A and B are shown apart, each in its own frame.
Chain A
Amino acid sequence: MKGRNYLLILLLVAISITALTGCSKSTASGQDIFEKVEEQGYIIMGLDDTFAPMGFRDNDGNLVGFDIDLAREVFKRIGFEVKFQPIDWSMKETELNSGNIDLIWNGYSITEERMKKVNFTEPYLKNRQIIITLADSDINSKADLKDKKVAVQNGSSTLDAIYKEPDIVETFQGGEPVLFDTNHEALMDLEAGRVDAVVSDEVLARYYISQKNPDDYKILDEDFGEEEYGIGVRKSDKELLDLLNSTLDEMRKDGSYEAIYEKWFGESN
């Protein structure tokens, strides 16, 4: 009886090992991106499809947005088929480096921390960290934020930006910002009157305000600095990086970048 049990276990172990290895295929890391695209027929662009207006879905579920239009044009010129893969934003670098996606392109701010993990293209969009209040607020400058409740998205580049000016953060009520998971939540709290100001990406905030009543909000002239959006690729994909850079350059020169910009952000760059 005992012997039979041993056999059974050995069999189970053997089956599970073959089952596991049977499903496995070698990971894409280490493989040249051009070979990979040739083999699978497309390049995979990772994006957070909840991120309006850079990349999101319309009512019919189609991916739309500034980054989507830009990427479609860039890859049309390069001659790659592009497949859009929704990912969770917190997993983006893991997705890239494990080869599940080939590039990150979705309002991806260039920061020093991220530069250690990925290679960025030249910036293709500038983005200020603006301060938003309700229209009737008495806040008109950074100094007026003293003893006020200021909301910021947690884990965002905005948070890094405001801490570059720690003297101002210290004057906030409580000595630190109120943190929200998304900019959307921060702005809803502003509307509800529970916070006095929100610091946020200009791109996101302007989209939010344009969807609401623009007259209800005020954007201060002062800001918490500028950041830039870039496209992230694996450190090993140098050739792809050059190709993306030169294609974006070309699009700036022939005005097609401008056309896409105006479609999504109205005013000219």
Chain B
Amino acid sequence: MFTYTLTLLPSMMKGLLTTLGVFFITLILSIPLGIIVSLGRLSKFKLLSKMVEFYIWVMRGTPLMLQIVFIFFGLPIVGITFDRFTAVIIAFVLNYAAYFGEIFRGGIESIDRGQYEAAKVLGLTPYKTFRRIILPQVFKMVIPSVGNEVITLVKDTSLTYIVGIGELLRAGRIASNRDVSLIPLALVGIIYLFLTAIVTGVFNKVEERYSYYE
């Protein structure tokens, strides 16, 4: 049994690499985009704010899998073609940026108006106010919610199967069908648990570090 599990590992590791690739690229791109989305949503300019609201509604209101299918299979009809991995990344980034955007918006809105006024009195430009005063506080506040999303992202990476990308869960299904056994799927479950344990640990550490003034 143990030796059998060992023979599964090489193909699982290959799948895991793809899973991690989707995970990290999505995170790196969607968090900054999320900040931009939250700013757009809070913009005093109505048209922009409404457009961002519409985007968030679509992204949160339809299944991510449908969005992947639409971007990969639907857009070529109007002449826009992406390869599999790119299409998946675009869908994930657009989807997660919407969620992150709403989390950041909540954070930004919870900051007292008085702080903006104080910063103005101190002669800080709006950009400096946001960058130096508001954003650091927002960051502290949103850590738990962001952690939640990130753990969801770990598991959502399995949705890439719809365009045939060989991620971790698919590697498990292949081995399971080949060897007529549930052990590969159990192994996949353990690897996911392991990943979320790491993510949870990292977020606990971050939360600790940012718990000053409390």
Contact = CB atoms under 8 A, between A and B. Distances in A.
Given A9-B47, A25-B81, A57-B178, A50 B170 contact: yes
Given A9-B48, A59-B11, A51 B164 contact: no
- What class of interface size applies to chain A in its complex with B? 35 or more
A59 B8 contact: yes
B176 interface: yes
Contacts of B211: none
B206 interface: no
B10 A60 contact: yes
A50 B80 contact: no
B62 interface: no
Contacts of A98: 73, 76-77
B180 interface: yes
Contact of B164 (A57, A86, A208): A86
B19 to A, nearest CB: 15
Contacts of A88: 161-164
Interface stretch (A16-24, A133-141, A237-245): A16-24
Contact of A23 (B11, B77, B82): B82
Given A59-B8, A59-B10, A49 B180 contact: no
Contacts of A27: 76, 79, 81
Interface in A20-54: 20-21, 23-27, 46, 49-52
A191 B207 CA distance: 49
B80 to A, nearest CB: 4
A5 interface: yes
Given A23-B80, A211-B179, A85 B170 contact: no
A60 B11 contact: yes
A122 B149 CA distance: 50
Nearest to A23: B82
Nearest to B8: A59
Nearest to B9: A59
Interface string B1-19: 0000001101100100000
Contact of A20 (B10, B80, B171): B80
A114 interface: no
Contacts of A85: 164
B127 interface: no
Contacts of A229: none
B166 interface: yes
A182 B177 contact: yes
Interface string B32-76: 000000000000010110000000000000000000010001001
A212 interface: yes
A56 interface: yes
B177 A52 contact: yes
Given A58-B178, A86-B165, 6 more contacts: A24-B80, A27-B76, A50-B174, A57-B178, A59-B175, A60-B10
